[in-house]
Structure formats: C-alpha cells, structure tokens
Amino acid sequence: MSGWKVLLTDGLEEKGKAILAQSAEVVDRTGISADELLQIVGEYDAVIVRGRTKVIPAVFDAASRLKVVGRAGVGVDNIDLNAARAHNVIVVNSPLATTIAVAEVTMALMLSVVREVARADATMKAGKWIKKELEGAELHAKTLGVIGFGRIGAAVGQRAAAFGMKIIGYDPLIPADEIQRRGAKPVTMDELLAEADIITMHIPLTADSKNMLNADAFAKMKQGVYLVCAARGGVIDEEALLAALESGKVAGAGLDVFATEPPGLTALVSHPRVVCTPHIGAQTVEAQERAAVDISSEVLAGLRGDALRWRVA
C-alpha cells in the first residue's frame, strides 16, 4: 500500500472504490459539509467530488497534502482552478463517461417539450382527457441548432439526425470542417439563432458563456422556437427566458440545469410550457459506473505521476 489517502465527498460507484482501494486508503464522507471538509482535508492526498462539493480556495489552503482533485463527471465549475494551480494541485475529470446519458436526456427533454408529454401525463393523472388541446410538433424536418459541438453536442446531433432533423452547429473552439465532419452544418451564432426551430446547449459555464442566451439572443430567434439545456446552469439568462416564454417567442423549454440548484418553485420552474428535471443528465447506472472507473484510474495516475488523459489544471 502506498500510504495515500483518498477522500470521497459525494459518493462513488463500487467499481471505482475498488480500483482506488488497490493502491490507497479510501474514506467515504458523502454529504460532508463545507466546514467539515475544511477541518479534515489536510489529511488527504486526493479528493474526488461530483457537482455538490465546492472546492474553493480555502479548501486548497487547508489541504497541505493534497496532490489531486478529481471530478467524477465533466463540469469543473465547482472547483477553483486558479487556486489549484497556485497550490500545484492537479485537477482531472472524466469527460467521456456521461456523453451518452446527457445526449439521451437531451432528446428526452426535446420530445417531452414538443409533444407536451409532461402536461399530458399530469392531466391524465388528474382524471382529465384533454386530447384535443395537446397538438404538438414533430422533430422531423425541423432545424436543430446545437450550441457547443463537442462530444455531447455531436452525440445529440447524431440522434437528432435519426429523427430526420437538419443539424446546424456553432462552436468557436472547433474548426468548421470538424463540425461538418461530425455531422452538422457550421454556422455563426447569429445564423444559428435565426435559423433554428429548436436550440440545444452543450457548453461549460465560463465567464464568456454566462448568460449567453440573454434578451438580445432571444430577440434574434424565430418566433415559437423551442429551447433545451442539459449543460450547465447559468448559460441561460433565466429572467430573459421567462420573458420570452411569456411573450410566445419561446414556445417551450426543457431544462435539466439551473443557475441556482436546487432552484425552488420559481416562476420558470412552474411555467406550464417548461419541462424541468433536477440535473439528472448524468444520472444513469451506466454513466455513473463509467465515471467512477475513469476518475479513479485518473486520480491514481495523478498520484503516481503517470501521464494523464483528462487533466484540466
């Protein structure tokens, strides 16, 4: 045994724990509070988190032994990367594990919104039969605008193409020929907003992407556009989206992520033309197992000083 200690703050599937236990002492403190984390983090060489735990500068200040922080998933906006670099702590994630799960939940939200599945179910359970009111739209022949054409965006594009949709994609970090190779027509952001019947977002939350879809962006969209987001809360200006729903500019929205989580029963969450899910994009048995295996292997590689596949800081 190496003598390394690894702290789990948000749980981890058993396959991941087994990989870690071969080389380190593993301590599972799922649900640990921010104050408790500060008190004990100095005992650990590595910490593995999901989206709940905030690894803020104070955590790095208190973590005298810390060498690696692992994020079991894609987004690392809950980890202060600048503080990690300042303390020479490696940050890794598991970006491949959740691609299929997030792509599939995106399609589920898309279909639920355009066919009013949630409303149909709720009224049936209330003993009502409102068939004539539930005239939805088809995905076939519609233009899907994908903002962010990385792994997940491309996977959504593949699935949407199987429904007969036309796929257009915007991604400032991916060359146009690569977007085209992945199955979409490359367009500018303004072109996407103007042409898309349905828009889906697959981008991280950064200073540049915060409130990317704001009032100005909604003004450029088609009347009656649909919007889906299973990326990160904060990339949509929620007040602007609510106003667009009220005006009819946006015909419906499917949201898995929110600027504040949990958001509570806000006007947006309770809106009749919004389908909401509680950030379940990665919540499949298969995705969680892949994430656990990938992040456990990557964290141990970081501790050993081996080459890393998914270093983000």
Enzyme catalytic residues: 232, 261, 279
Q: DSSP letters along 94-156, please?
A: -TTTTHHHHHHHHHHHHHHHHTTHHHHHHHHHTT---GGG-----STTPEEEEE--SHHHHHH
Residue labelled with tokens 């005239």: 135
Are 286 and 13 in contact, with CB atoms under 8 Å apart? Answer: no
Report the amino acid identity of residue 102: V
Q: Locate 275 and state its tokens.
A: 């389908």
Tally of CA atoms within 13 A in the half-sphere of 185 that contains its CB: 13
Tally of CA atoms within 13 A in the half-sphere of 207 that contains its CB: 0
CA angle (141, 147, 148) in 5-degree steps: 125
In sequence order, the 6+-apart residues with CB closer than 8 A to the CB of 203 are 147, 148, 209, 212, 231, 232, 235
d(CA 2, CA 13): 22
Residue labelled with tokens 């946006």: 250
d(CA 56, CA 84): 9
Residue labelled with tokens 């594009």: 157
Are 144 and 166 in contact, with CB atoms under 8 Å apart? Answer: yes
